[in-house]
Each structure stands twice: as C-alpha cells, then as structure tokens.
Amino acid sequence: MAGKQPNDTEADALMSNLEDGIGSLEDMLKPFLQRPYDQMIDEMDAVTVAKMNVMFAYALNSLYFAFLRTRGQNPNEHPVKKELDRIKEYYQKVKDTSEKNSVPQMKLNVDAANRFINSALKETQPNREEVTESVKENKKEKVSTESKGNKKKSKSVSQKETLESSNKKKQKK
C-alpha cells in the first residue's frame, strides 16, 4: 500500500481490522486491569513477573508503533523501533532463564549416599570382636600390673597395647 491511497472499501476493511484488534487487545488485558499491579505480582513467582513486565512493555511499544503508522510516520526510523528490539532481547533472556530453571537440577541419590557413608564408617571403626578382645586383654594386664602396685604405668601400657593390637588387625585386613 506504500505509494498509493486505499479506496473506500479497503479503508473500511482496514478500519474494521483495527477495531477488531483493539477489541481483542482490550479483552486480553481486562484480567490485568481489574486488579492493582502490586496485588497481582504478589501472587506470582519472579520469572512470571519478569515475563509479564516484558509483555506489557512490548504491548505498549507495539501500540505506539501502530500509532506512528496511523499518523503516516515511518516507525522503523523512530526510536520506538530500537526499544522494541531491546524488549525482544529481554524477552529472550527471560525465556532462557525460565528454560534453565525448568531443567531438573542434580538430585541426591539417598541410597547410594547411605551405602557410601556406611562403607566409610565400617572402615574407620574396628570390629566389635576386636574391641572386646582388646578390652579383655587390657583388663588382664591391668589386674596383673595393679598387683605390682604400679597403676599409672599399667594404664599407659594397656592403652598402647590396645592401639597396637587394633592397628595390627587393621593391617591384616
């Protein structure tokens, strides 16, 4: 249509399309316009709020773009075109962020973690049988050394022997 004027029937068709478009836009915006903005965003998560803000900015700038066209100006040479491009970039950033958030994050395999922890604990703790044997040996040595009247020496000797016996048994494994 550039360079030629539309005839009356074409102009009527264009006006009808414009009225239909504005009517459908009003219908789409009605839910957003019925409640205060602050109340509306309190019920949304951050990604949804970002999407809504980008959508509002794009809608307003698109309407201004259309307004410029109705005035006979070239909106491609107007700063509104740069603003629409900038909003498209923001929309892509929000879209990329929401897609990253939708990808499931790593989850802990609880069964595998429990097996790993139990295995590590078993390696660091001596067997109960080894502990009871060393305790019995210590008691015997303690009784024999106490009868000699050297209590302090018997405690240190029994502790050393307990550690040595448990270390020897670990090394055998």
Segment 42-95, tens digit of pLDDT: 888 888 899 989 988 998 999 899 889 888 899 999 999 999 999 999 999 998
Instruction: Identify each DSSP E strand in 10-152 by its residue range.
Output: none
d(CA 111, CA 117): 10
- Place 114 in a pLDDT band, splitting at 50, 70 and 90: confident
Give Cα 25 to chain centroid, integer Å.
Answer: 34
Instruction: Give me the sign of the Cα torsion angle 7, 12, 15, 21.
Output: negative
| 124-146 average pLDDT score | 64
pLDDT tens across 30-42, in order?
887 888 888 888 8
Q: Look up the pTM and report it.
A: 0.49
